[in-house]
Amino acid sequence: MDINFKDKVVLVTGASSGIGRGIAEAFGRSGAKVVINYMRQKGEAEEVLESIESSGGSGLIVQADVSEEADVLSMFEEAQEHFGDIDILINNAGIQADSSFLNMSFKEWTKVIEVNLSSQFLCAREAGRHFLMRGIKEGDRAIGNIICVSSVHELIPWAGHVNYAASKGGIMQLMKSIAQELGEHKIRINSIAPGAIKTPINEDVWSDKAKMKELLKLIPYGRIGEVDDVANVALFLASDYADYIHGTTIFIDGGMTLFPGFADNG
């Protein structure tokens, strides 16, 4: 299977670290022009750009807080001026602000909902508008493609993280409702739902032997995920090989959603 994104423009939110970085670099290696969104980590975003350029690709770094409407609009304008309309949006930026439910502040609740869920609404809406204005490109099957980075916690409840789990459950219904509404326009949208992937967001777990031992009990396949496990699926899902996959979530979790707690008869 030869997956090539030559002449395609992909915008990746939160692309200066972790999964976003891995996805941005994978698209760069596959020939795409990559818009690398970052919020504060300019140095890291520049490293991602260098790595894409050194693999023969091209990129543009754009600063934006994707939970702010004005920032999202100007990010799409800047991308459009530089590369033309985008073809693929990867809604990836996300945060955790953990707290037990009774101690969670309203600020911790709204911040996570705004960054993880409202940002995906804003970016998907803007991408959809750009796709429709441009229309279909010759030789393409879809006029545009959106991938939402969700989590196993769109399915698995998560005590101590109600803001995060609610944001990811919200992404599932956001994605599916957009899929119902925009499918007829040949806009394809899906989610990828990682399990435990080794990135800065969960460094406190993978850098601690005892916590890792506990985590592995939740992963039937017996290892933590790597960023490329997710990036490879994103490449496939954004390609025409996946043209009939629409409105669904692909879990990339080593079996975490198999409810391994029930493996020994519950």
Return the closest-CA partner of residue 217 out of 159, 158, 266, 263. Answer: 263
Region of 17-25, 98-106, 134-142, 182-190 interacting with ligand NAD (CB under 6 A): 17-25
Interface residue with ligand NAD among 145, 163, 191, 199 (CB under 6 A) is 199
The yes or no reply on residue 99 touching ligand NAD (CB under 6 A) is no
Distance CA(221)–CA(144), nearest Å, equals 34
Q: Which residues are catalytic?
A: 164
Q: Which of 92, 163, 191, 239 binds ligand NAD (CB under 6 A)?
A: 92
Cα–Cα distance measured from residue 255 to residue 119, given in angstroms and rounded to the nearest whole number: 28
Contact 24, 34 (CB under 8 A): yes
**Angle, to 10 degrees, between the axis of helix 162-182 and the axis of helix 119-134?**
20
- Indicate the length of the chain as a whole number: 266
Q: Decide: is 190 part of the binding site for ligand NAD (CB under 6 A).
A: no
Per-residue contact flags (x/-) with ligand NAD for residues 207 to 246, judged by CB under 6 A: ----------------------------------------
192 binds ligand NAD (CB under 6 A): no
Please compute, for residue 13, the number of CA atoms within 13 A of its CA located in the half-sphere on the CB side.
31
Q: Which residues bind ligand NAD (CB under 6 A)?
A: 13-14, 16-20, 37, 39, 41, 65-67, 92-95, 115, 149, 151, 194, 196-197, 199-202
